[in-house]
Amino acid sequence: MKKYLKVLIPVLFSVAVLIIALLIALYLVKSSDYDKLTSDYELLNFKYGSLLDDYNLLSGQYLELSKQYAELQTKYYELVEEYKGLNLEYNKALDISAELTSKLYSAKEELNGYKIEVQSSLDWFKENATLKSKSIKSKLDSKCYSEKSGSCYIAEACLNLVNEQFMNLEYKDDTTLGKTDKFISINEFLENKGGDCEDFSLLFKAEINYLLEKCSDKEISIEAFVISDSGNYFLDNSNSWYYANAKKHNLEVGYIYPNIVCGVLKDPNKADVFGGHCVIAFSKEKINYLSDLNKLDLAELVEPQTGQYLGRMKYGPTTFDVEYYVNGEYLPESVSYIKQVITDNDYYLYQNSWKGYESIYDKFITLEQEIDSILEKQK
């Protein structure tokens, strides 16, 4: 037994040593794995911490972005509604623009109609500034016009003689003619065998224009007459006709251009009472434009139905005033004023300011150009 134990003990000791060695080796292996795992754990834990920080950062950013997104979404919906509103207004604006464009074209067409009317009126005054009647011309040549020593003489009272005695023209008011108070052409006046004051004035002006053409390049002297206490004023070259108690009165030198002026004036057909009446104003320069009306200051006034010298115009603060010639003096008359002027090519009317067809026509042209500019921008 002792012998057996002697053999067994070493063996057991060796086994025990081997087991211990194995255990030590196993421990060392496990210890190394543990250290590695610990190191890996610490690394993973560090990464986890970093990831957690990133997560928290990203989470905060996400929340901020979510908030911004919600705000942007709100603004987006607001913009969508605003766009819808603007689009609706835009479509309305398009409709209004189309309507306005249509109205502008209509206005332009209507404006063109007015232009044609105004141009027609301007043409009418130009047409009726000239005398076409050969019979009247013949009488004027033989009775009312003469030349002497390079000068030309025109007797205005003779024009009335020709018109009344030889052409059988007489004063007729609008009621007699069955017309409204308006200008009629010289041809209509002659066909009607008369007319009112503006009709006589239109013919008288055309007759003077005809005689002025005959006096071209000559010194011109125009004579009228004034009332006197005695004496006879002969009307024609043959001294066959005369006014009693009248005498010659020459217009101021150079005052030769006839214009019709109308307003509140003495009317010879109504016992010289003041009322609406037209006479002839002789200016020193031709009245061609609205800006020329001031040249009517001191224009010589003559009654076209008699050839009597009346006085002169005075440029007033608004319209033209009248100074009547009485016993060799010019006397102002507060009742009289002139508010209409008819020249060879235009008609002027005072309504708070002087206006004329040509100035209105120019404004139509300007307005038409403005409309064209607007329509061009619409294309």
How many Å apart are CA 206 and CA 131, to the nearest integer? 5
Residue 73: left (phi > 0), alpha (psi -120 to 50), or beta?
Answer: alpha
Residue 2 has pLDDT above 70, yes or no: no
Instruction: Give tens-digit pLDDT for 280-316.
Output: 999 999 999 999 999 999 999 999 999 999 999 998 8
> Do the Cβ atoms of 238 and 139 come closer than 8 Å?
no
Angle at alpha carbon of residue 197, lines to 191 and 199, rounded to 5°:
35
Residue where the block lists tokens 């009272």? 157
Q: Say what the pLDDT of residue 178 is.
A: 58
Q: What is the DSSP string of 249-314?
A: EEPPTT--EEEEEEEEEEEGGGTTEEEEEEEEEEESS---SGGGGGGGTTPEEE-TTT-BEEEEEE
Q: Say what the pLDDT of residue 18 is.
A: 80
How many Å apart are CA 301 and CA 323, to the nearest integer? 9
Residue 372 has pLDDT above 60, yes or no: yes
How many Å apart are CA 8 and CA 14, to the nearest integer? 10
Amino acid identity of residue 249, one-letter, is H
Q: Say what the pLDDT of residue 180 is.
A: 62
Residue 325 has pLDDT above 90, yes or no: yes
How many Å apart are CA 300 and CA 108, to the nearest integer? 43
How many Å apart are CA 81 and CA 67, to the nearest integer? 21
Instruction: Give tens-digit pLDDT for 196-222.
Output: 999 999 999 999 999 999 998 899 999
Q: Say what the pLDDT of residue 262 is.
A: 95
Query: What stretches of the chain show up as alpha helix (H) in DSSP?
Result: 2-127, 134-143, 156-161, 174-177, 186-191, 197-214, 357-378
Q: At 5, is the pLDDT very low, low, confident or very high (cuts 50, 70, 90)?
A: low
Instruction: Give tens-digit pLDDT for 12-62.
Output: 777 777 888 777 877 777 777 777 788 878 888 888 888 888 888 888 888
Helices 2-127 and 357-378: crossing angle in degrees, nearest 10, is 160
Residue 148 has pLDDT above 60, yes or no: yes
Q: Which two tokens stand for residue 320?
A: 């033209």
Q: At 271, is the pLDDT very low, low, confident or very high (cuts 50, 70, 90)?
A: low
Residue where the block lists tokens 């009335």? 160
Listed range (25-29, 66-70, 168-172, 347-351) with the worst mean pLDDT = 25-29
Mean pLDDT of 176-191: 79
Q: At 257, is the pLDDT very low, low, confident or very high (cuts 50, 70, 90)?
A: very high
